[in-house]
Amino acid sequence: MKSVERTRDGTGETVSDRECYRCDRDVAPARLFRVTTEPPAALSHDYQTAERWCCPDCAAGMNLSEFSERLKARAGREGSSPTE
C-alpha cells in the first residue's frame, strides 16, 4: 500500500480519489466501492469508523459481491440450466 502522506509534488497530505486502497491500482471513481466499517458499541472506545475505496477485483476478493442483490439475481439467471 502507498503511504497517505505521499503526494505528487511533496507539498502536503493528499489521498488519490482514484486508487484502490488494497492494490493501489488506479480505477475510475464511478467503479470504486466505498467500504465503510463501524465498530460495535462495545469496541467503539478502541476503534473508529473507517471508510476506504476499493476496486471491483478487491471487492470480489473480500466477497463483497455477496451484498449485491443485482449481482445475485444475475448469477441466478446465468447459473440456471436451460429447460428441455
In a domain, 15, yes or no: no
Cα angle at 17 between 15 and 23, to 5 degrees? 80
The answer to whether residue 6 sits within a structural domain is no
In a domain, 61, yes or no: yes
Q: Residue 63: which domain range?
A: 29-74
In a domain, 43, yes or no: yes
Mean pLDDT of 65-69: 71
Residue 11 confidence (pLDDT): 52
Residue 14 is assigned to a structural domain of this protein: no
Out of 18-22, 31-35, 47-51, 64-68, pick the least confident: 64-68
Asked if pLDDT for residue 28 goes beyond 60, the answer is yes
Of 29, 21, 30, nearest in space to 59 by CA: 21
Helix locations, the chain, DSSP H:
56-61, 69-79
> What pLDDT band is residue 80 in, cutting at 50, 70 and 90?
low
User: Cell numbers at residue 29, please?
Assistant: 471513481
Phi, psi values for residue 75, rounded to 5°: -65, -35
The number of distinct structural domains making up the chain is 1
> Residue 82 pLDDT more than 70?
no
Kindly report whether the global pTM for this prediction surpasses the value 0.85.
no
